[in-house]
Chain A
Amino acid sequence: MAEARDNVLDVETLSIALRQDDATVPIVEDISFSLARGEVLALVGESGSGKSLTALSLMQLLSKELAITKGRILLHAADGGVTDIVGLGANGRAIEAIRGRRMGMIFQEPMSSFSPIHTIGAQIAEVAMIHEKVTREEARRRAAELLAKVGIPDPVRALDRYPQEFSGGMRQRAMIARALICGPGLLIADEPTTALDVTIQSQILDLMRKLKNELGMAILFITHDLGIVAQMADRVAIMYSGRIVESGPVRDIFRRPVHPYTRALLEAVPRLGDIDRHRKIRPIAGSIPNIFDVPQGCRFHPRCPAAQLPRCAEAPPPRYDAGRHHVSCIHGAEELGR
């Protein structure tokens, strides 16, 4: 299935663990997904589900106590070359050449993602200077071009301004410019709009969509906001406690969610007209398991309304596929076949 598509990224059975004195605690286990050129994949989950760590691991940016323990992260170049990011290791020229050039990343907090004592222009132009050995003037010209593209007024003057002179939305725009200056094939966006208010949020999402269509990069969009998923993504992968429990095209997942966790997530989203229809928002009972004490079998079974004991508590649930819709749940077969 993956071979047929023009993929930018294939993540295969990726596992991340926390290294402690003598033991390793698995945090993300056996995650697989892929991204085609120009595709937006949303990675959705609660805080602590491992979605941000997954994003960081794609560029080998995990902090020292965390490590990739298994799997491959295959980055495809336009000319057909394939690089395994896991094989590059976390340090050295090889991985540095990937960061910012082949993959760009934007973060949740535009407020602190820029150094307050360097100008916006210097921080954006720097990326081009590192990767493409262009002169300072050329890099500045490119930075101004990018700032114009992300909708910052008077881009040439904006180059010499400091981040704190920008609003949150403007800073996130500048952040996007920095991530895209070298034209990466993949943009990783780790909750890029969470810290912004709603109107700015939709402006940023519009901008990202526009840039994606213009530049043709794939976007891995990390979020916990299902509203954003519906607006932005082509496909979605739902993470729970370090595993992907369900994935598929956005339409399939929203219309026919199979996994009880996905269903519960959708139930928990307020919609217009809820009051008239007397629909109540149902929060999911309980909370995400502590990584040091995860349940056996299906990670979700203690909170699952459809759990069948002892089956769900004994072994991890089997995975079922129907076309591009995948789910890991004992109910998968009957539900997908419906």
Chain B
Amino acid sequence: MITFFARRFAYMVITLLLVSVVSFAIVQSAPGDYAEIYAARKANAGAIISQAEIENVRRQLGLDKPWHIQYGRWIGNIVLHNDWGMSWEWKRPVGEVIWERMPLTLAIAFSTLIFMYVVSIPVGIYSAVHRYSIGDHTVSLLGYIGLATPNFLLALVLMYLSQRYFGQSVGGLFSPAYENAPWSWGKFKDLLAHLAVPVIVLGTGGTAFLIRAMRAAVLDELNKMYVLSAKASGLSPLKLLIRYPVRMALNPIAATLGWRLTYVISGAPIVGFVLALPDTGPLFLHSLLNQDMLLAGAMIFIYCALTIIGTLLSDLLLVALDPRIKLE
């Protein structure tokens, strides 16, 4: 058991290192650099900027060095000093900029995950048990629509609807009234109301997918011999369903938890941008557009790390759920 965790942890560290190289390379591979953007901006503002000045900026930021040296300095500072460097755009430490916004991103991601599982598991079970009923067909139809609708479109529609019919201010975490108020029931409800739109937008596709997966898994199990044999022992239908087929069907669902987390986190920037949420989404997008390298690199790195952690969690969950999986 301990060897298993140790090995998994070691793999995780190696993967993270590789990921850091890749994320740095991705950021580097875009044409141009921050110095050029800086120059272009100055030029737009009417200032005259010489080639020498550009070179100067480049040298200051270390952009004149080959990329592996830049990478070495970057990762070295992160590992040794937990120093993520400065965001050139924000003129503040990267860590600070990100951690201001990370809680909201994580809140949305995990609320979305919870939303997806809470909705899809019972609906999937219902759909499997009542196969080919009107309810099942309705769920399937809604599911396909959910799968086919692009997130950004759904975001726009929901924004319009909640603004128009519920008078709900979208964007941000709190209404202005609660922004700086101490925690209370009202503030909590306000938070939930604000989370609802991004969570639905982000979660719809995944929920639709999970409903299909859950339905298929339960259907698979319902026809197994052990279900008949349990029924022949006198279990009531509901008890039987929950104790055997549903319990079995949860294994493949748990196995995909890692991918779900990835999906939610990688989908978040676009939704965050469309809904103008103060989360890491818009931050990430701007850092890429502005070639704010250290910020962008850190963001990619964190997104990947969350994915890897998600995969690890789902593996551990699977080991806990399924006695057939051996650790060695």
Contacts and interface: CB of A to CB of B under 8 A. Distances in A.
Contacts of A93: 236
A146 to B, nearest CB: 13
Contact of B225 (A91, A100, A112, A123): A112
B225 A131 contact: no
A301 interface: no
Contacts of A104: 232-233
A162 interface: yes
Given A116-B226, A117-B248, A179-B233, 13 more contacts: A61-B231, A61-B232, A97-B234, A99-B231, A105-B229, A107-B225, A109-B225, A112-B224, A113-B226, A114-B226, A115-B248, A127-B234, A131-B234
Given A117-B324, A162-B323, A100 B236 contact: no
B71 interface: no
A126 interface: yes
Contacts of B286: none
18 contacts: A59-B232, A61-B232, A96-B234, A100-B233, A104-B232, A105-B229, A107-B229, A112-B225, A113-B229, A114-B226, A114-B229, A115-B226, A115-B248, A116-B323, A117-B251, A117-B321, A117-B323, A118-B243
Given A107-B228, A109-B225, A115 B244 contact: yes
B69 interface: no
A32 interface: no
A105 B248 CA distance: 23
Contacts of B224: 112
Interface of A: 59, 61, 91, 93, 96-101, 104-105, 107, 109, 112-118, 123, 126-127, 130-131, 162, 164, 175, 178-179
Contacts of A164: 324
A96 B236 contact: yes
Given A97-B234, A100-B234, A126-B235, A175 B324 contact: no
B110 to A, nearest CB: 27
Can you list the 5 inter-chain pairs with the closest CB atoms, starting with the nearest? A100-B234, A100-B233, A112-B225, A99-B234, A105-B232
B234 A61 contact: no
Contacts of A179: 232-233
B228 A115 contact: no
Contacts of A130: 233-235
Interface in B248-262: 248, 251
A104 B224 CA distance: 19
B324 A99 contact: no
Nearest to B325: A117
B146 to A, nearest CB: 29
Interface string B291-322: 00000000000000000000000000000011
B135 interface: no
From A91, A104, A115, A178, residue with most partner B Cβ within 10 Å: A115
Interface residues of B, number: 22
A117 B225 contact: no
Contacts of A61: 228, 231-232
Contacts, number: 71
Interface in B233-284: 233-237, 243-244, 247-248, 251
B230 interface: yes
Nearest to A103: B232
B218 to A, nearest CB: 14
From B225, B230, B233, residue with most partner A Cβ within 10 Å: B233
B145 to A, nearest CB: 30
Contacts of A113: 225-226, 229
B233 A99 contact: yes
A114 B247 CA distance: 14
Interface string B39-73: 00000000000000000000000000000000000
A91 B237 contact: yes
Given A91-B237, A107-B225, A130-B235, A115 B230 contact: yes
Contacts of A99: 231-234
A188 B21 CA distance: 65
Nearest to A182: B234
Nearest to B322: A117
B318 to A, nearest CB: 11
Given A109-B225, A112-B224, A112-B226, A117 B247 contact: yes
A334 B132 CA distance: 55
Contacts of B229: 105, 107, 113-114, 175, 178
A142 to B, nearest CB: 14
Contacts of A118: 243-244, 247
Nearest to B232: A105
Nearest to B250: A117
Interface string B105-143: 000000000000000000000000000000000000000
A328 to B, nearest CB: 31
Contacts of A96: 234-236
Contact of B234 (A101, A107, A115, A123): A101
Nearest to B221: A115
A318 B93 CA distance: 98
Contacts of B322: 117
Contacts of B228: 61, 107
Nearest to A101: B234
Nearest to A130: B234
B211 to A, nearest CB: 23
Contact of A162 (B233, B243, B247, B324): B324
A162 B247 CA distance: 15
A105 B228 CA distance: 10
B119 to A, nearest CB: 25
Nearest to B229: A113
A118 B246 CA distance: 13
A97 B226 CA distance: 19
A93 B237 CA distance: 10
B238 to A, nearest CB: 11
A318 to B, nearest CB: 37
Contacts of A162: 323-324
A107 B227 CA distance: 12
B14 to A, nearest CB: 32
